[in-house]
Amino acid sequence: MFDSFNKFTILYYALVLVFMSTVLFDLPLLHYTVKPMFMIVLMVFHWKQLSWLSNFFSKTIQFGLFFSWIGDIALMFDEKIPFLFVVGLGAFLIAHLGYAAAFLRNVKDSKFTLNLPNAGLMALPFILITGTFFYYMKDGLPANLFIPVLAYTVVISVMGITAAARHKHVDKKSYCWILIGAILFILSDMVIAINKFVIDFDYDAILNMGLYLTGQFMIALGAVFYAKSLSNKTF
């Protein structure tokens, strides 16, 4: 199951389907059982695919998945224990920083030098979108969360920018998968923040988790595609 891209995709999205059902039909026990499984299966898949490889990039992707797992668990209980929202925010901030470090290593390890004007142009949409998002949301933030949420907004922008900066430094397949995954991850964070601090809307969990789970899936798979492209291995 973890050795085949197609079989793993079926397994992963079968879990997604089960999870979405727990949200729609209010099945708390199954919900709390399934949600922590996603990052675990992604970590296992990533490790199984790359057990022959141990480098900074692969270790840092695992690092990001692990802290995302911590964040998932914290945010399952943040409505009952508000402090866990800050714990989850911190865990995801660390995960984003881990991904950003991994993406920067791709650029560093490439035989091509970074084209700063092009990198600046690719960074601009992330800066504009996350900056506008924070400006729109800031008035709804509690005073004690203003700085943490601002820091988090900067970090998710950095993660997106570093994903975009991999352009022409990695193979096209890995680049596209990770860039789209990073964008979806950022959008999922925005959905959580808007729902929590601006307006409470129906089915936010479905939208948020659909974006988040697909984003993480694409980042993990994009990391595998990158490693395999270096060794000419395939699924």
Give the global pTM.
Answer: 0.95
pLDDT for residue 197 is more than 90: yes
What pLDDT score was predicted for residue 54? 75
pLDDT for residue 108 is more than 80: yes
Look at 150 and 4; give whichever has higher pLDDT: 150
| Alpha carbons 20 and 129: distance in angstroms, whole number | 28
Which sequence spans correspond to the domains of the chain?
56-231
Across all residues in the chain, what is the average pLDDT?
94
pLDDT for residue 234 is more than 80: no
Which pLDDT tens digit goes with each residue over 218-231? 999 999 999 888 87
- Sorting pLDDT into bands at 50, 70 and 90, what band is 1? low
What pLDDT score was predicted for residue 86? 94
Which pLDDT tens digit goes with each residue over 18-69? 999 999 999 999 999 999 999 999 999 999 998 766 789 999 999 999 999 9
| Percentage, residues of the chain above pLDDT 70 | 97
Q: Is 105 exposed, middle or buried (0-12, 13-18, 19+ CB in 10 A)?
A: middle
Whether residue 25 contacts residue 208, with contact meaning beta carbons closer than 8 Å, is answered with: no
Q: Is 112 exposed, middle or buried (0-12, 13-18, 19+ CB in 10 A)?
A: exposed
Write down the residue that tokens 């949600």 correspond to: 35
